[in-house]
Amino acid sequence: MSSVLDNPPAARESAAPKTVPAQTDGFHLVIDALKLNGIDTIFGLPGIPITDLTRLAQAEGLRVISFRHEQHAGNAAAAAGFLTQKPGICLTVSAPGFLNGLTALANATTNCFPMILISGSSEREIVDLQQGDYEEMDQLAIAKPLCKAAFRVLHAQDIGVGIARAIRSALSGRPGGVYLDLPAKLFSQTMDAVAGRDSLIKVIDPAPRQIPAPDTVQRALQVLESARRPLILLGKGAAYAQADDEIRALVEKTGIPYLPMSMAKGLLPDTHEQSASAARSYALAEADVVMLVGARLNWLLSHGKGKTWGGPDPVKVAKKFIQIDISPTEIDSNVPIAAPLIGDIGSCVSALLAGIGDHWRKPPAEWTGAIADRKDKNLSKMAAMLRQDAVPMNFHGALGVIRDLVKERPDAIIVNEGANTLDFGRSIVDMYQPRKRLDCGTWGIMGIGMGFAVAAAVTTGKPVIAIEGDSAFGFSGMEVETICRYDLPVCVVVFNNNGVYKGTDVNPTGHADPAPTVFVKNSRYELLMEAFGGKGVVARTPAELKSALQEAVATGRPTLINAVIDETAGTESGRITSLNPAKAAINK
């Protein structure tokens, strides 16, 4: 039998297991901070120094969607931000990977989409002395001019603060892109697990309501009520606000005709009796008071002046504007705003509704009737063009098929980019529900297609139809592998007319090189989808396109339809020929 003397205190102490304080590291603090703030998905591309972060994020329950190119991951994050009102997260490697994501970050900021680009980077002490580190670059300095805010985290205990500041910056006021720089050394830093948990911050009310001043509401109502030919113009900011019921109530209670910008289509069904979309040119030119709801008077609206708006020249303004915007600095950016209404769209629209009494005078019948007459004439012309059964297909015949499918499946999300494909698409394909149309937006850039399509499928689970010009598809086409890898319900329809705008240009020198705008004739785009296990289809007639599209949406299987379009059907630069200097000079 042993005794106490047989096992002295020193021996007992050394035999007992030692209690080691639990530790955490930078990897887990980043993941925990995102999860604490309701982030459930990351879009990105693994590589040094963030490969292990993507692995651990997936192990900790985050959904990690890995792309083939960072720009498309960034576009996906931006679209996710627009659809969910949570900042979309794009994760990239340092230097070249960061630069690839930067285009998407700048585009998100321009379009007011909440997005956070998180990039690994080289160590500060080497970058600052320019000693030639692996992928050395002062990424923070480069990002700052292109986003709302940019932050760098150097210490593990500050990760919670950095992510909180990024989230609040992305969502508050006018949403936009934020850059967060995480040097490689940060991820391996350790600290006490309890202290680490306590250092994290759950962001409270990152986008608080901003109530408009009562006198500005009354001024806006007075200007609106004084109008003989009022018009409401809805921008994508109105769609982002998710104040759908209030906006519809305002339109219907006032009886005022409305025009949606392309990504605001579906806030009210495009078939609504007050929609002036089919009489757009007439409505813009003839209105005497225009109320902008989440829309900016930029190039897409001819800056609010000139012949588009009924003005005698590009300088003079022919009407009064009411503008609802959360950013005071947007007011008077192009033309005088008679009644600025500053605040979040939901609060501003609710305040206007509350101020409209039973005495409200709806627009004169001569105004609404004139719009209705022009709508009927234009829709009749459109219907005749949509009935065309030409082979090879033209834009109207092919888009008419998609139009019918969306009418049957109004929950389907449309992604649209190109020149002619975009211009015809937004005027032909009616939308019936809000936030079901995504396109190239304020900058008008190409290459958003597959990133937006992936984001739409991942965040909503709904069928996605990506209507792509063959030129636009070329920017992001390799991401069909991403679509197949995650088995997403995406149907890509490539409008194949053998080139940019048209496939008919020739090299004027007689050299064998093709013209700059011409692609390989009769390209087999559908084989790209088949290469990764999806379904590829060639459609040469509206009937073939209809059959393939219906099957794709019904099955949810990744599909690419190579829609063969008459190569002579397009026009130079689509509907923005005036922005093409050479063509503008020729047309004078």
pLDDT at 203 over 90: yes
The predicted pLDDT at position 124 comes to: 87
pLDDT at 95 > cutoff 60: yes
Q: Which long-range contacts (CB under 8 A, 24 or more apart) does 380-388 make?
A: 382/278, 382/428, 386/428
DSSP string, 476-488: HGGGHHHHHHTT-
Question: Is the pLDDT at 162 greater than 70, yes or no?
Answer: yes
Q: Which DSSP category does 364 fall into?
A: P
**pLDDT averaged over the chain?**
93
* 4 located within any domain: no
Q: How confident is the model at residue 588 (pLDDT cuts 50, 70, 90)?
A: very low
- Do 56 and 130 fall into the same domain? yes
In degrees and rounded to multiples of 5, residue 96 shows phi and psi of -60, -40
Give mean pLDDT, residues 306-318: 77
Give the span between the Cα atoms of 398 and 100, in whole angstroms.
34
Residue with the two structure tokens 């093709």: 514
Residues 392 and 357 in one domain: no
Do 273 and 420 belong together in one domain? Answer: no
Residue 229 included in any domain: yes
| Residues 397, 465 within the same domain | yes
Rounded Cα distance, 52 and 46, in Å: 8
Asked if residue 289 belongs to a domain, the reply is: yes
pLDDT, one tens digit per residue, over 322-341 is: 999 999 999 999 999 999 99
With respect to residue 418, please indicate whether it lies within any of the assigned structural domains: yes
Looking at the structure, do residues 314 and 221 belong to the same domain, yes or no? yes
The CATH number for 350's domain is: 3.40.50.1220
* C-alpha Rg value of the chain to the nearest Å: 27
Please spell the DSSP secondary structure of 253-303, one letter per residue.
HHT--EEE-GGGTTSS-TT-TTB-GGGHHHHHHH-SEEEEES---SGGGGG
Length of the chain: 588
* Residue pLDDT, tens place only, 443-489: 988 999 999 999 999 999 999 999 999 999 999 999 999 999 999 99
Which of 276 and 387 is assigned the larger pLDDT?
A: 276
Number of structural domains the chain divides into: 3
Residue 10 pLDDT > 50: no
**Model pTM score:** 0.93
CATH number assigned to the domain comprising residue 568: 3.40.50.970
> What's the N-to-C CA distance of the chain in angstroms?
112
Q: Is 230 helix (H, G, I), strand (E, B) or coil?
A: strand
User: Residues 243, 327: one domain?
Assistant: yes
Q: Choose the final residue of a domain: 199, 223, 252.
A: 199
Residue 205 in any domain: the answer is: no
User: Strand locations in 287-436, DSSP E?
Assistant: 289-293, 320-325, 339-342, 413-417
pLDDT in tens, 478-533: 999 999 999 999 999 999 999 998 899 999 998 999 999 999 999 999 999 999 99
Residue 17: pLDDT band (50, 70, 90) is: low
Is residue 169 located within the same domain as residue 283? Answer: no
219 with 195, same domain: the answer is no
Structural domain harbouring 277: 214-371
User: Residue 167 CA to chain centroid, in angstroms?
Assistant: 18
